């Protein structure tokens, strides 16, 4: 079953690549053109995500390190589970372009547990009573309620619509 799923995914991949190949085949300019390649490399933590925003014209598929993809716009990688330096290869019409991407975590987040200690602290606590907001003696007496109902009477009037038949020539 696993072999069948991998075969189906490979056929799907090659079907999309072949479709893109025939689209590029009838274009005048067949070379790969970089439209956009953005990624942040300044504020990267060890346990962060890499967001790569890329766009190319006349690209068939892309390869990030050992992972290939058909996605055209944005790719998100977990830096813990991915290489810090990898090749980004764009495959086109009998050509490829290679970009080397490097991500070095410069910031570290120390999330270990901590303990606070207080030295030379002296506290003096005074107990103050909480004031009562309601009177201490409060009586509530409820007698049996009396319900008075009135009778409502509905009168229905009949509506009669009388219409006469006429021809189309009566309008003219």
Q: Is residue 140 part of a domain?
A: no
The CA distances from residue 135 to 129, 131, 141, in Å, are: 16, 11, 16
Q: Do 58 and 92 touch, CB atoms closer than 8 A?
A: yes
Name the residue with tokens 């229905």. 156
19 three-class SS? helix
Q: Is residue 60 part of a domain?
A: yes
Most distant CA atoms of the chain, gap in Å: 109
* Number of domains the chain is built from: 1
Q: Is residue 163 part of a domain?
A: no
Q: Is residue 34 part of a domain?
A: yes
39-53, 69-83, 134-148: range with lowest mean pLDDT: 134-148
Q: Is residue 89 part of a domain?
A: yes
User: So what's the pLDDT on residue 155?
Assistant: 79
Q: Is residue 149 part of a domain?
A: no
Query: pLDDT class for 130, splitting at 50, 70, 90?
Result: confident
Residue 133 has pLDDT above 80, yes or no: no
Give the domain extent around 32.
2-102
DSSP state of 129: P
CA–CA distance, 67 with 59 (Å, rounded to integer) = 16
Residue 79 exposed, middle or buried by CB count within 10 Å (0-12, 13-18, 19+): middle
Query: pLDDT class for 124, splitting at 50, 70, 90?
Result: confident
Rounded to the nearest angstrom, the gap between the alpha carbon of residue 57 and the centroid of all alpha carbons in its chain is 27
Q: Is residue 90 part of a domain?
A: yes
Residue 167 has pLDDT above 80, yes or no: no
Q: Is residue 79 part of a domain?
A: yes
Average pLDDT of span 22-26: 87
* The most confident of 80-89, 134-143, 160-169, by mean pLDDT: 80-89
User: So what's the pLDDT on residue 138?
Assistant: 64
């Amino acid at each position: 079953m696993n072999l069948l799923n991998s075969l189906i995914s490979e056929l799907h991949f090659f079907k999309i690549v072949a479709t893109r190949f025939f689209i590029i085949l009838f274009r005048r300019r067949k070379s790969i053109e970089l439209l956009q390649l953005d990624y942040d490399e300044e504020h990267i933590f060890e346990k962060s995500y890499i967001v790569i925003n890329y766009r190319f014209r006349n690209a068939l598929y892309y390869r990030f390190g050992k992972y290939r993809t058909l996605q055209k716009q944005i790719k998100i990688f977990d830096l813990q589970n991915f290489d810090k330096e990898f090749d980004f290869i764009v495959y086109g019409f009998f050509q490829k372009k290679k970009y080397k991407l490097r991500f070095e975590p410069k910031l570290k987040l120390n999330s270990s547990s901590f303990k606070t200690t207080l030295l030379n602290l002296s506290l003096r606590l005074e107990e103050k009573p909480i004031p009562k907001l309601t009177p201490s003696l409060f009586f509530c007496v409820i007698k049996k309620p009396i319900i008075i109902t009135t009778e409502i009477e509905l009168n229905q009037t009949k509506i009669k619509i009388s219409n006469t038949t006429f021809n189309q020539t009566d309008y003219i």
